[in-house]
């Protein structure tokens, strides 16, 4: 009887470890995906950076108004 209990407990421990391990690995993979998807470069990000590298053709310097 004791052996049965011990075997059952060991089996459950193994299963539990597998479940926890699976969840942990899954979360890491999700974080990696999130890293790419949260930091994923969308069109807005690119356009914003391109705005900084180029100069608009009607760009002007302001030195104030005379009145």
Partner 1 sequence: MKRKIAAILVMLLLVISIPSLVLADDAGDEPEEEPENDSQAPDDETPESGDSAEETEESEEVDDDATEKEIQIMPYPYGAEIRLLQLQKALLRNILKAQMIIGVLQDMEFNTSELEGILVQMNELLDEVQAADPAANDSVQVFVALKYEAINLTKQYRETLHALVDDATLQQLRNQIRNATSDALRDYSSMIRERIRHFNRNQLHRLYGFIGTVNNSLIDEYFNGTISLGQVKLKLSAMVNQMTQEEKHSFFSELREDNIRRQIYARATMSDMPPRGIGKGQGKP
Q: How many residues bind partner 1 (CB under 8 A)?
A: 41
Residue 54 in contact with partner 1, rule: CB under 8 A: yes
CB of 49 to partner 1, least distance (A): 5
Q: What is the dihedral of CA 21, 23, 29, 32, to 10 degrees?
A: -110
The backbone torsions φ and ψ at residue 31, rounded to the nearest 5 degrees and listed phi first, read: -65, -40
Residue 3 in contact with partner 1, rule: CB under 8 A: no
Under the phi-then-psi rule, with left for phi > 0, alpha for psi from -120 to 50, and beta for the rest, what region is 50?
A: alpha
List of residues contacting partner 1 (CB under 8 A): 1, 4-5, 8-9, 12-13, 15-16, 19-20, 23-24, 27, 30, 36, 39-41, 43, 45-47, 49-57, 59-67
């Amino acid at each position: 009887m004791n052996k049965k209990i011990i075997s059952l407990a060991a089996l459950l421990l193994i299963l539990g470890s597998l479940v926890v391990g699976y969840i942990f690995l899954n979360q890491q993979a999700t974080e990696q995906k999130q890293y790419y998807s949260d930091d994923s470069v969308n069109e807005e990000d690119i356009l914003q950076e391109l705005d900084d590298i180029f100069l608009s053709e009607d760009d002007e310097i302001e030195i104030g108004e005379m009145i």
